[in-house]
Amino acid sequence: MIYESSYDSGRLPFKPDLTRGYWAKSSDFVFTGISLAFRLDIFSVVWMAFTYAGCAGVLPYIICLFLFVVPLFVMQSFMGQFSSSGFISSFRIAPLFKGIGYISLAVNLGVLTYYSVLAAVPLLYLFHSLRPTLPWSCEGLKDWSANVTENPVKHLCHMLTNDTTPNANFSWFVMHEIPSNLFLKTRFNNLELFEPNDEGFYISWEILLCTFLTWTIISSIFYKCRSIEKLGTVLRYLIFITLALLLITVIRFSLVPSNLTQAIYDFFIPNRFTLIQSFSCVSIFVISVFGAGWGTVISLASFNKFKSPITQNSWTICLGQMFVFLSFAFIVFVTDNYFDEIKEAYDEQNPNSYAFINKLWVLYLSTGSVLAEMSWPNLWCIIFYLMLILTALITMSICLLSTLQSIFDDFENYRTRKTELTFIVIGLLAICSLYTCSNQGVFLHVIFANDTVVTQTALNLLLFLVVLWVYGRVRFQRDLEFMLSERFSNCKIYMLRFVSPLCLIVMLLATFFIAFMYHNVGSWIVQIAALLFIVLPWLYVPGYMIYIMLQTTGTYKTRFKRCCRPMDWYPVELEDRQRYEQAMRNTDMTHQLNSLDEETAT
């Protein structure tokens, strides 16, 4: 054996799962990678990054792709594709840091506990879209708005009809609710929903039923698709449908502005000040290209064939995600401008008053009132909310697939009980997600999403340390060139070692500050949940380091060196493994790769 085995360190060797399968089509990795852009729990950052910036966000976005996003995509894809294992077992590349994989496991489970609300809310609106009259339209609002509270509530329909407060000679401040936002608040019988001073505990039984239905759909997908080939095919069709619905929605929203030419101009040709502002927002938001949780790209790439071109695929995925982000941003941009036009018209007719429109969760809630004013509103609501439901189901399925496959790769005993463990995990996640059906938990994803961005950034920073410094630049370049059978320039390696980590350090400080600000308005339950899923898992990294060194023989220096060396690090397929051993025996790896004859290369 020319690579180091776990036997040498007194541990059981890694046993690859040869039955885990591959994607049915090589393009499935690209489509699932693009669908990582469906992660919409960071909508507040999306709003800042692309709504006000418009296409000004494209330039800093592409710069971020060059500096650290695509390099990270390539690195994570390399780890998964080379080792054919998930985000836990792939840290055989440096076993001392395997605790990072267990942190990722906790983060992914934490994300899945709240993400169902992003499917339950649009599912609720979808069901009500089947009613003859939309309850959040001005006509449908008359049936229930009068009974919302003892005090009258000003809403958008008052502005549309120019229904103001009694005449007065002094200025006053008037808060107007958006009917589609007000509709969700009434589901909780709580008009202070989403407010920091919200007290009490209320459960929406409609959201509760929609949450159960969401997890039932997820269970059905994993029950019917027990192989990666079937699951990849189902995900591919779901992604096609979602992208088609997104395109239809964008086209329909482009017809909303009264001055379409000016709206398109403002979105695609922003001013210089907006361009400068967009740099700080986009650099933080761009980390969401890796999907919910962490390690998803590693797990998805592990289903690739050994020779799959990860560099080209990474660029295709990242550019495809950019168009998805811009599509959602355009919808929010039009929605925001729609309300601004109503406010301006209202202020012109009522110069002594100052109106304020309470826009909340714009992509999910406020868009409903825009859809209600379209012709055939029920049809467009069905299309729009179905699209949002599919984005959540796809994101949850991919995150769950990544998490479960990583567990099966690392724990050999669970491979014979995949079905049982899958439904146990889904059942526990469904129970934990019930908190999001309350007024205290429905907005949980805002705080947790920022926490996960901090964790993702920190883990990506550690990944650079593990792969390019502990495993080593030379060995990483050697393995990558062997796997792809193409040259990987030293310039790219030096960017990975120095430029990309510096960018991530700056971004880590910014994301930590944002997360800290959001936690100031969170409830004590949110703080405890963040402590369990975000903070405490970090103790596992030094804890696992101590544990694995105690399991190794020799002096402390010898133990440390052994734990930093790759263990059982080789391609899983026998043919690729034999070729790797032959290449490793040659001291000049570059010469070996260039001199491989046609028969050996195939």
Binding site feature residues for Na(+): 37
Query: Which residue from 105, 113, 186 is spatially nearest to 445, judged by alpha carbons?
Result: 113
Query: Closest by alpha carbon to 133, among 311, 372, 365?
Result: 372
> Are 210 and 445 spatial neighbours (Cβ–Cβ below 8 Å)?
no
Cα 174 to Cα 352: distance, rounded to the nearest angstrom = 11
Known binding residues: 37
The answer to whether 193 and 442 are in contact (CB under 8 A) is yes
Neighbours of 174 (CB within 10 A): 16
Cβ-contact 203, 440 below 8 angstroms:
no
**Nearest CA to 325 among 28, 32, 48?**
48
- Copy the structure tokens of residue 201: 């505990």
218 vs 393: CA distance, rounded Å = 7
The Cα 452–Cα 49 span in angstroms is 18
Return d(Cα 228, Cα 248) in angstroms, integer: 30
CB 382 within 8 A of CB 195: no
Other Cβ atoms closer than 10 A to 259: 11
* Nearest Cα to Cα of residue 272 among 49, 54, 46, 51: 54
Q: Using DSSP, state whether 358 is helix, strand or coil.
A: strand
| 439/204 Cα distance (integer angstroms) | 8
Q: 297, 76 in Cβ contact below 8 A?
A: yes
Name the CA radius of gyration of the chain, rounded: 26
For 239, phi then psi, to 5°, come to: -65, -40
Q: How far apart are CA 141 and CA 133, in angstroms?
A: 9
Q: Are 505 and 461 in contact (CB under 8 A)?
A: yes
- Residue 186 has which token pair? 């009434």
- Three-class SS of residue 177? strand
Nearest to 447 by CA among 162, 212, 168, 111: 111
DSSP string, 517-548: HHHTTS-HHHHHHHIIIIIGGGGHHHHHHHHH
